[in-house]
Amino acid sequence: MEKMSFLETHRRFEISEIGAHQVQVSAKTTWVLIRLKFLSGAEGWGEATYFGAEQELGNLALRLQSSLRDAPANDLADLASRVRQTDMGGARGVFVSALEQAWMDGLGQMSAAPLHCLLGGAERRDIPFYANINRGITDRSPEGFADQAEHILALTGAHALKIAPFDGLRWDRTSLAQQTRLIDLGLQRVAAVKARLQEGQRLLVDCHARFNPFLAGPLFRELGALGVFWVEEPCAMALLSAPEQRSLRSAANASGLMLAGAETVTRLEEMAEVLSCEGHDVVLPDLRMTGIANGIAMLRLASARQVATSLHNPVGPVLDAISTQVGAALPSFLILERQVGESPKFDEIRKTPVECVAGAVRVSDAPGLGFVPERAALQDLEATGGSDALSFSGMSGAGPDA
């Protein structure tokens, strides 16, 4: 067989096309998937879901496609440089991360290697997970929470669940009487779910920064008494001083709880600051926000500081598969979040079911992220076009984005 020249080999990795697709899951959820096509004909997929920013994501894809028509991208660095800005908003940052995901998936497809092999190999074949069932709970009564918990446990074989039970509570916007009522209702939901769990099954509670430290202390005692495994983001941790964060963590630990958070961290230096405050037992960055390489660096740093690692993974099947592959390649990993039970479209897109054994996801050895999304289950993400400028980076007079 005739060998390809270096130039011919390199050109196989050039990106010639980008597509953006959406899946309307519910009134509050739209998954956005990004597809890259290489000159070799291979395709790679990434997830750019960022709730409420579908139009902006579509416009970015449209303008990037125009740029690729003018000149294919040589590699990921070239591709990302066409979009990246110095001060990127959330949607643009997620879009850049999706490009990295799709690039890595494409490399896996072309080399017939799973993503974890490209990241150095699998440290484990099974990834413990918890099912985030909050978005799939339409009946928000305590019994509604408990019924959904029981359903998901039977459906997935999960050994851990996460709920966000404190609907409507904001410490700075609700009266004392409202706070008391909403906290009591939230604790009823926790108790109802916990009552349906079997021995060894864990319950995690996400507070979405609804509390201040004054309210968090009594809450920890109540959650600890109910046997909750971890409490996530009880307060806006980034707004607390390092001593306040350590005090909050100590209070959680004294009630038998682990304190988890850091899902909104986007840069390595931010994670270093989080870890230096010593306010977390577990950190769970989101690969949509961090990117793959940057996210792995964050989690390796956390492990070196003796902080447990997880991944925030609350959206669609592409991020779920990529997070599983990354979790397999990390030297230390506690547990993976999985968004479960929100919509049957997850399985329609994935086609091949996720293999779960004893509360863990079995790591796929299929190429790339482990599956190819079902195009028939997706809609094209329409865009209005917006500004002609793809990025202001380097543009004269562009201010902070120059």
One of 3.40.50.1000, 3.10.20.600, 3.30.390.10, 1.10.1040.10 is the CATH number of 6-112+376-401, namely 3.30.390.10
Q: What is the pLDDT of residue 198?
A: 92
pLDDT > 70: percent of the chain: 93
Tokens coding 274: 């989080």
* 85 pLDDT higher than 80: yes
For 316-355, write each residue's pLDDT tens digit: 999 999 999 999 999 999 999 998 878 889 999 998 888 9
d(CA 321, CA 78): 25
For 362-384, write each residue's pLDDT tens digit: 999 999 999 999 999 999 997 76
* 2 pLDDT higher than 80: no
For 172-196, write each residue's pLDDT tens digit: 999 999 999 999 999 999 999 999 9
Closest CA to 139 of 193, 177, 210, 198: 193
| CA torsion through residues 392, 68, 100, 312, sign | positive
Domain residue ranges of the chain, discontinuous segments joined by +: 6-112+376-401, 117-366
* Confidence band for 7, pLDDT divided at 50, 70 and 90: low
Q: What is the pLDDT of residue 182?
A: 97
* Confidence band for 396, pLDDT divided at 50, 70 and 90: very low
Which CATH superfamily includes the segment(s) 117-366?
A: Enolase-like C-terminal domain (3.20.20.120)
φ, ψ dihedrals at 174, nearest 5°: -115, 145
Q: What is the pLDDT of residue 379?
A: 94
* 401 pLDDT higher than 50: no
* 402 pLDDT higher than 90: no
d(CA 402, CA 396): 7
Sequence-ordered list of residues with C-beta below 8 angstroms from that of 210, at least 6 positions apart, any chain: 166, 169, 170, 171, 234
Q: What is the pLDDT of residue 395?
A: 46
For 250-266, write each residue's pLDDT tens digit: 999 999 999 999 999 99
* 110 pLDDT higher than 60: yes
Range of lowest pLDDT (31-35, 47-51, 82-86, 212-216): 82-86
Q: What is the pLDDT of residue 352?
A: 86
Contact in structure between 319 and 346 (CB atoms under 8 Å)? no
Sequence-ordered list of residues with C-beta below 8 angstroms from that of 317, at least 6 positions apart, any chain: 31, 346, 349, 350, 371, 373
Residue 379 gets the label, from left (phi > 0), alpha (psi -120 to 50) or beta, of beta
The end-to-end CA distance of the chain, in Å, is 49
* Averaged pLDDT score across all residues of the chain: 92
**For helices 142-156 and 176-196, what crossing angle results, to 10°?**
30
* 392 pLDDT higher than 60: no
Q: What is the pLDDT of residue 388?
A: 54
For 13-51, write each residue's pLDDT tens digit: 899 999 999 999 888 889 999 999 999 999 999 999 999
Tokens coding 6: 């270096």
Cα angle value 220/221/223 (rounded, 5°): 65
* 281 pLDDT higher than 80: yes
